[in-house]
Structure formats: C-alpha cells, structure tokens
C-alpha cells in the first residue's frame, strides 16, 4: 500500500505517519527529515537546502525528486510507503507519477489532513522531538509518558526545529497555499483524494486513517 499524506505544516502528517508506519509495517518517507539530516551531515544537498528551509521556502524540485527517487523502490519499502511532505508541487507530483510508472507501482490513496489555519500555528510552536530517535512530541498535545524521557528510546535530549518560529511558519503556510494546495484538485481528478478532519485528537485521527487504509 502506497500512501501520500497531504496537509499544511502542523497538520500532523509526521505524527500520523510515524504511528501508521509502525502499525502497518509501511515505510515513512519524509523529505523534510531527509533534508534536515542532509543539513546536519553537511552534504552538498544540505548546503543547498539550508537557507531556503530556514526562510520557510521550498527547496528545488530537482533536489527533492533526487532524494526520493532511490527510496520508493528500495527494499526497506517493499511493503509500501507513506510519503510525508512530498510531493509539494505539481512538478513533483508529475515526477512521482513517472517514477512509479517506471517501477510498475502506483499510489493507492492521497489522504488530506485538514486543519483550520489558526490552529496550525499553535500546533507548530509547541512541537519538539527526541534528539536521538526523532520521535515527535508537543508541549500541550503529546508529552512523553514518563517525565522527560523519550517513550521510544529513553533519551533525555530533545530538540526544536529551527524553522518552527512565527516568521518562518508564516512563509511555510504561504508556500503551502500557493504551491502545495493545487495538488488537491490534481489528485481529486485521479479519484485518489480523501480528506479527514485532522483537528480531532491524535488517536481519533489515527482511527480515521486506519479506516481509509482498510477500505483502500
Ligand atoms: P517539513 O518537515 O515537511 O515541514 O519540511 C521542512 C522544510 O523542508 C520545508 O519548509 C521545505 O523548505 C523543505 N521541504 C521538505 N519537503 C519538501 C519538498 N517536497 N519540496 C520542497 N521543499 C521541501
């Protein structure tokens, strides 16, 4: 099963992809995570992407298509994948269609995680993640279960993303509305788009997703 989670920054794509990845044995492919890892490692891709990410813009189609291309048909993803944060432009969606066709693969469903814009900022400003394993948390909505230790790996070290600040968030929302929202009609025309209410509690959103995946 190959899925795309589509939604604005803060809509919960990463959180839900993490849960569904474990529950269904799928592989989460997040271009944001891959780019942050490239920045941290100081690779050529990382050096090219860093300033754009910090400003809240979109990294070039060429770069993100390149980093996703060798993943979708990889052995780790043999049970299927969840794309989180990709595609973000029509050009990326078209490139993805070509890559899939070449490999005899397809997208089964594109699930839009719909959230009102005023809620997104609150969600983004409270989030952080484990510095060791990357599990995501939120000051208000998802604290670690035991004191300040990561539920997944027990680490006590947490980090906040540099681009989760008010100014950058505004630019990221603008980029979403201008460049990514047009993917909704693109996938609707192909009969692949399903929208869910992602303003519910995390567990209720997961339930909605599982129903769609079951029926797909
Ligand atoms: P995310 O973690 O998905 O919110 O992505 C963080 C940042 O990485 C975005 O604001 C973009 O600058 C960049 N990025 C991630 N995925 C893409 C993509 N598919 N296309 C262009 N830029 C991306």
Pairing of strands 127-130, 158-159: antiparallel
Does residue 166 surpass a pLDDT of 90?
no
Predicted local confidence at residue 216, as pLDDT: 84
Give residue 32 CA to ligand 1 midpoint distance, Å. 5
Under 8 Å between Cβ of 85 and 30: yes
The stretch 159-183 carries a mean pLDDT of 94
Under 8 Å between Cβ of 142 and 206: no
Cβ of 111 below 6 Å from ligand 1: no
Cα 32 to Cα 16: distance, rounded to the nearest angstrom: 15
Predicted local confidence at residue 167, as pLDDT: 87
Cα 144 to Cα 150: distance, rounded to the nearest angstrom: 6
The stretch 26-32 carries a mean pLDDT of 96
Give residue 146 CA to ligand 1 midpoint distance, Å. 31
Cα 216 to Cα 203: distance, rounded to the nearest angstrom: 20
Atom of ligand 1 nearest to the CA of 30: 3
What mean pLDDT is reported for the chain? 95
Cα 208 to Cα 86: distance, rounded to the nearest angstrom: 21
Can you read off the two tokens belonging to residue 166?
């008010």
Report the percentage of the chain scoring pLDDT > 70.
100
Catalytic residue selected from 28, 36, 88, 123: 88
The residue whose CA has the least distance to atom 14 of ligand 1 is 32
Annotation marks residue 123 as catalytic: no
């Amino acid at each position: 099963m190959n899925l795309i989670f589509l939604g604005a920054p803060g809509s919960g794509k990463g959180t839900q992809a993490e849960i569904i990845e474990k529950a269904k044995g799928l592989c989460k492919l997040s271009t944001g995570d891959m780019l942050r890892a490239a920045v941290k490692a100081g690779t050529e891709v990382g050096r090219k992407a860093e300033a754009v990410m910090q400003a809240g813009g979109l990294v070039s189609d060429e770069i993100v298509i390149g980093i996703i291309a060798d993943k979708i048909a990889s052995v780790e993803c043999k049970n299927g994948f969840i794309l989180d944060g990709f595609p973000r432009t029509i050009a990326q969606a078209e490139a993805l269609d070509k890559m899939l066709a070449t490999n005899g693969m397809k997208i089964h469903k594109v699930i839009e995680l719909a959230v009102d814009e005023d809620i997104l900022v609150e969600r983004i400003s409270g989030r952080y993640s484990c510095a060791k394993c990357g599990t995501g948390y939120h000051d208000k909505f998802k604290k670690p279960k035991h004191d300040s230790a990561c539920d997944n790996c027990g680490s006590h070290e947490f980090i906040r993303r540099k681009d989760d600040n008010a100014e950058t968030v505004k630019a990221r929302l603008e980029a979403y509305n201008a460049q990514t929202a047009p993917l909704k009609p693109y996938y609707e025309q192909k009969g692949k788009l399903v929208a869910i209410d992602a303003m519910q509690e995390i567990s209720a959103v997961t339930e909605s997703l599982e129903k769609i995946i079951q029926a797909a």
